[in-house]
Copies of this chain bind each other. A is one copy, B any other.
Amino acid sequence: MKHTPRKLKRCPGRPVTGVDGDAREHLLTAATELFALQGVAATSFAAIAKRAGLTPAMMHYYFKDRDHLLDCVVEEKIAPMIASVWRPVDPDAAPAEMLRGVVGRLVAGIERMPWIPSTWMREVLNEGGLLRGRVLRKLPFDKVRLVSEAVARAQAKGEIQADLDPVLMVFSMLGLVMMHLATAPFFAEVFHRKEPDAQAIGRHITALLRHGLQPPGASARKNMRKGK
């Protein structure tokens, strides 16, 4: 496995080259899976090693302690995903386009890393969550602010209803994606339905954010009238 010097600098336990890279990657993957299933607090180094089919000594070779392990999970797994979601946000796009883009990229990222939503619910949203501070430091607030500013500008022009809170809107968007994807099996069990896949959930959320309970043509009519 190859590792870039930039990432090496950000998480010192990460080896530059060699077969060891695979073992370390297996351990990180096992850790994220257990975090999603049972939370960070309930997950021991021994359990992670066992899930990865390796020894606890290997865990301690790569990760000094739990803090170091959490640093590596955030630096190598969560931060790149957050960046991939927010980096492409275009300050000149319409709010609906921004929201559609963020939701789409977030859903795509979660399809690659299905352990993300329940970990986010448990370890970021919950009081006392063990990844809260680390994950917050990775949120690109300049990009996040672009979305709420675009909503507020459109409201000022009367293009979006005034009762929406532009900043809460960002939280609604992220929360809907994380909540629906974290609870899809639970939802299916409660309502006796087939578990919705990530793409179906993404379509529902994008539709909800863009039009709510409005008829399908409402936006098209408005945009036509305005010559958009």
Could you tell me which A residues sit within 8 Å of B by CB distance? Answer: 37-38, 95-96, 99, 118, 121-122, 125-128, 132, 136, 139, 151, 154, 158-165, 167-169, 171-172, 175-176, 179-180, 182-183, 186-187, 190-191, 193, 196, 200-201, 203-216, 218-219, 222
Does the CB pair B168–A172 fall under 8 Å? no
Can you give 24 A-B contacts (C-beta < 8 A)?
A37-B127, A96-B213, A118-B126, A121-B125, A125-B186, A151-B213, A154-B213, A161-B207, A163-B203, A163-B207, A164-B204, A164-B207, A164-B208, A165-B196, A165-B204, A168-B180, A168-B196, A172-B176, A172-B180, A210-B213, A210-B214, A211-B214, A212-B214, A218-B219
Contact flag A171-B183 (CB < 8 Å), given A127-B118, A213-B96: yes
Q: What are the residues of chain B within 8 A of A159 when measuring CB–CB?
A: 215
Which residues of B are found within 8 Å of A163, using beta-carbon distances? 203-204, 206-207
